[in-house]
Structure 1
């Protein structure tokens, strides 16, 4: 029985999409964190 290459492609595509979603979610939280720090101002004065 031949393995269906299309299903393998779909599986890989889903995995890549999932990892991209995780990365985007992480970057979103990271940007929110950074913006919070920026709006609050640095703890030490910038010279």
Structure 2
């Protein structure tokens, strides 16, 4: 989980990309809310087929 400072920095960065927020919000509800999906950091690793 991100602490308050980390979450605020991540939220500010995400809000800089407003054109991408609508598609994300369609699947993730209140994306920039403190209790929303930005509260944790997730990393996906792609593997070659």
TM-score by length of 1: 0.35
TM-score by length of 2: 0.33
Higher normalized contact order (CA 8 Å, seq sep 6+, divided by chain length): 2
Structure with max Cα Rg: 1
Pick the structure with more helix per residue: 1
